[in-house]
Amino acid sequence: MTGTPVSPTLGSMTRPLRLLAAVTLLTIAIPLAPASAGKASPVAVDSWIVAENGTKVGQGITSPSAVGETYETSARAPSQLAFGVVATPVGGGSAVTFFGGGGSLDFAIQYLTSDGTDVTLKVTGRGYKVRGVAEGQHVHLTMVVYLRGSALGRSANLAVLAQTSGGRDMVAAFVTGA
């Protein structure tokens, strides 16, 4: 098939030009709402770890890898230690979800809520979610670490991640069996 290139005439172009002009005017006159309109803006999280002696590490620091938010200690094996993990939404209310490891042969871990409910399977599984947390409200979780006799001379970095709709913050306890 051979043919001659066809150049459109001005008359055949007027309808698309009118449509383009109308769309341009609408875009200028009626600004489009941003994609996030009607949705809650992401909420960050701040979490910290509290040792049995009351020492707080990580408050006011946000690090998804626990940089600056790790408490280091040693304990006799066998024994147990308890650490408080506290998280608070920053920038609005949000659900807070905790994720943590299950420990190892030398260091077993149990996670408890502030009323003593064991949520270990949730924290080590798909996460333990606390809904309806107001901005600045503190959510508490206790991480109990059981050092077995085999922990003597061994160390473990035990991390807990707190997550909201717009942020993650990790804290950790670095425990060595003495």
User: Distance (Å, rounded) from C-alpha 82 to C-alpha 123?
Assistant: 16
Superfamily of 44-177 according to CATH: Immunoglobulins (2.60.40.10)
CA distances, 89 to each of 47, 92, 125, 169 (Å) = 9, 6, 22, 11
- For residue 98, what are the β-bridge partners? 128, 162
By mean pLDDT, which of 2-16, 66-80, 141-155 is the weakest? 2-16
pLDDT band at 29 (very low <50, low <70, confident <90, very high): very low
- pTM greater than 0.85 (yes/no): no
Residue-range domain boundaries for the chain = 44-177
Instruction: Report the chain's mean pLDDT, rounded to a whole number.
Output: 82
- Higher model confidence: residue 2 or residue 51? 51
CA 162 to chain centre: 5
pLDDT (0 to 100) of residue 93: 86
With 70 as the cut, is the pLDDT of residue 21 above it? no
Tokens 């807070």 belong to which residue? 96
CA distances, 66 to each of 20, 50, 103, 125, 171 (Å) = 53, 14, 17, 20, 5
pLDDT (0 to 100) of residue 50: 97
User: Distance (Å, rounded) from C-alpha 25 to C-alpha 21?
Assistant: 6
With 60 as the cut, is the pLDDT of residue 35 above it? no
With 60 as the cut, is the pLDDT of residue 131 above it? yes
pLDDT (0 to 100) of residue 43: 81
pLDDT digits (tens, 9 = 90+) for 69-120: 999 999 999 999 999 999 999 988 889 999 999 999 999 999 999 999 999 9
